[in-house]
Structure 1
Amino acid sequence: MTTSFLRIAVVLGLLTAVGPFAIDMYLPALPTIGEDLNAGTVPVQMSLLVFFLSMGFAQIIVGPISDMVGRKAPLYMGLGLFIIGSIGSALAGSIETLIAFRFLQGLGASAGMVVPRAVVRDLHTGTEAARLMSMLMLVFSISPILAPLTGSLIIEALGWRSVFWSVTVAALLAVFLLATSLKETRPVEERRGSSLRSALAGYRFLMGDRKFLGLTLIGGFGISSFFVYLSNSSFVLINHYGLSPSLYSVFFSLNAVAFFAMSQLTGVLTERFGLRRVVRVAVASYATVMVAMLAVMMAGQQSLWVLASFLFVGYGFLGLVIPTTSVLAMDDHGTIAGTASALMGTLHFATGATAMAVSGLFFDGRPLPMVISIATCAVLALALTQLTLGRAGDAERAPAE
Structure 2
Amino acid sequence: MSRPSPWARARLALLLGGISAFGPLSIDMYLPAFPEIADGLDTGQAQVQLTLTAFMIGMAVGQAVVGPLSDTLGRRLPLLAGLTAYTMASLACAISPSVFTLVGLRFAQGVAAAAGVVIARAAVRDIFTGPAMARFFSMLMLVSGLAPILAPLIGAQVLRWTNWQGVFVVLAYFGVLLLIAATVCLRETLPPPKRRPANPRQIMRTYLRVATDRTFVAYATSIGFVTAAMFAYIAGSPFVLQELHGLSPQTYSLVFGANALGLMLFTQVNGILLRWLSPRVLLTVGLALSALAGAGVYTAVAMELELVYLLAALFLVVASLGIVSPNATALALADHGNRAGTASALLGVIQFLIGGLAAPLVGLGAERSATPMATVIAGMSAAGLIAFALLRPTRRRPGRYAAFRQADTIPFRPVGSPRGHV
Residue 312 of structure 2 is aligned to residue 309 of structure 1: yes
> Structure 1 pair 390/312, CA: closer, same or farther in 2 (3 Å)?
farther
Q: Does 1:374 align with 2:377?
A: yes
Which one-letter code corresponds to 1:196 in the other structure? P
Whole-Å separation in 1 of the counterparts to 2:172 and 2:349: 24
- Aligned match for 2:140, one of 131, 136, 143: 136
The equivalent position to 2:186 in structure 1, one of 182, 187, 209, is 182
Report the Cα distance in structure 2 between the residues aligned to 1:361 and 1:4, rounded to whole angstroms: 48
What's the CA shift string for 1:132-175, capped at 9, x where partnerless?
Answer: 11111111112110110110110121111111110111001101
C-alpha distance in structure 2 between counterparts of 1:362 and 1:204, whole Å: 38
Give 3-state SS (helix, strand or coil) of 2:276's partner: helix
Structure 1 residues 158-207: Cα deviation after superposition (integer angstroms, max 9, x where no partner): 11111111011100110111011111001011115453222111111112
Deviation by residue 1:288-328 (Cα, 9 ceiling, x = unmatched): 22213323432332x22111111212322221001100110
The 3 A distance-change label for structure 1 pair 273 and 194 is farther
**Which residue identity is paired with 1:90?**
A
Structure 2 Cα separation of the partners of residues 339 and 292 of structure 1: 36
After superposition, what is the alpha-carbon deviation per residue over 1:227-269, rounded to whole angstroms, capped at 9, x for unaligned? 0011111000110000100001011111111111111123322
Find out whether 1:104 has 2:114 as its counterpart.
no
Aligned mates of 1:219, 1:136 — CA distance in 2: 17
Q: CA RMSD in A?
A: 2.1
Residue 90 of structure 1: how far off its partner (Å)? 1.0
CA distance in 2, matches of 1:400, 1:295: 41
Q: Give the Cα–Cα distance (whole angstroms) in 2 for the partners of residues 363 and 377 of structure 1.
A: 20
Task: Give the secondary structure class of the aligned counterpart of 2:131.
Answer: helix
Higher mean C-alpha deviation, range 208-217 or range 308-317: 308-317
1:57 corresponds, among 61, 76, 90, to 61
What is the aligned partner in structure 1 of residue 128 from structure 2? 124
Deviation at 1:211, TM superposition (A): 0.6
Q: What 5-or-longer segments of structure 1 have no aligned partner?
A: none
Secondary structure of the equivalent of 1:243? Answer: coil
Give the CA deviation at 1:387: 2.1
For residue 326 of structure 2, what is the aligned residue in structure 1? 323
**Cα displacement string for residues 93-122 of structure 1 (whole angstroms, at most 9, x for unaligned residues):** 222222222221111101011111000100
Of the candidates 6, 18, 21, which is equivalent to residue 22 of structure 2? 18
Aligned residues: 400
* CA distance in structure 1 between the aligned counterparts of 2:342 and 2:311, rounded to whole angstroms: 37
- Return the alpha-carbon distance in structure 1 between the equivalents of residues 297 and 373 of structure 2: 11
Higher helix share goes to which structure? 1
Give yes or no for contact 1:127–1:267 (8 Å, CA) kept in 2.
no
C-alpha distance in structure 1 between counterparts of 2:56 and 2:317, whole Å: 23
Question: 1:31-72 CA deviation, whole Å, 9 max, x = no partner?
Answer: 101111112222211122111111122210110000000001
- Bigger mean CA deviation after superposition, 286-295 or 217-226: 286-295
Residue 371 (structure 1) shift:
1.2
Deviation at residue 11 of structure 1 after TM alignment: 0.4
Tell me the CA shift for residue 20 of structure 1. 2.2
Whole-Å separation in 2 of the counterparts to 1:293 and 1:154: 30
The within-5 A match list for 1:2-401 is 2-193=6-197, 195-301=199-305, 303-362=306-365, 364-389=367-392, 400=405
Whole-Å Cα distance in 1 between the matches of residues 10 and 313 of structure 2? Answer: 32
What is the one-letter code of the residue matched to 1:262? Answer: F
> d(CA) in 1 for partners of 2:261 and 2:129?
26
The answer as to whether partners of 1:276 and 1:389 remain within 8 angstroms in 2 is no
Q: CA deviation at 1:126?
A: 2.1
Q: Which amino acid in structure 2 is aligned with residue 309 of structure 1?
A: A
CA-CA distance at 1:390 after TM superposition: 7.0
* Equivalent position of 2:415 in the other structure: none
After alignment, is 362-371 or 217-226 more displaced? 362-371
Q: SS where residue 171 of structure 2 aligns? A: helix
Task: Output the CA distance in 2 between the equivalents of 1:226 and 1:296.
Answer: 17
Distance 1:383 1:326 in 2: 18
* CA distance in 2: counterparts of 1:116 and 1:397, whole angstroms: 22
2:330 is paired with a residue whose SS is: helix
Please list every run of 5 or more consecutive structure 2 residues that lacks an aligned counterpart in the other structure.
407-422
Percent identity reads 36
Q: Which amino acid aligns with 1:318?
A: L
CA distance in 2, matches of 1:195, 1:138: 37
C-alpha contact (below 8 Å) 1:262/1:317 kept by paired residues: yes
Is the CA contact 1:13–1:139 (under 8 Å) kept in the aligned structure 2? yes
Task: Tell me which amino acid in the other structure corresponds to 1:28.
Answer: P
Question: Which deviates further from its counterpart, 148-157 or 291-300?
Answer: 291-300
Counterpart Cα distance in 2 of 1:285 and 1:41? 30
Q: Taking structure 1 as the reference length, what is the TM-score of the superposition?
A: 0.95
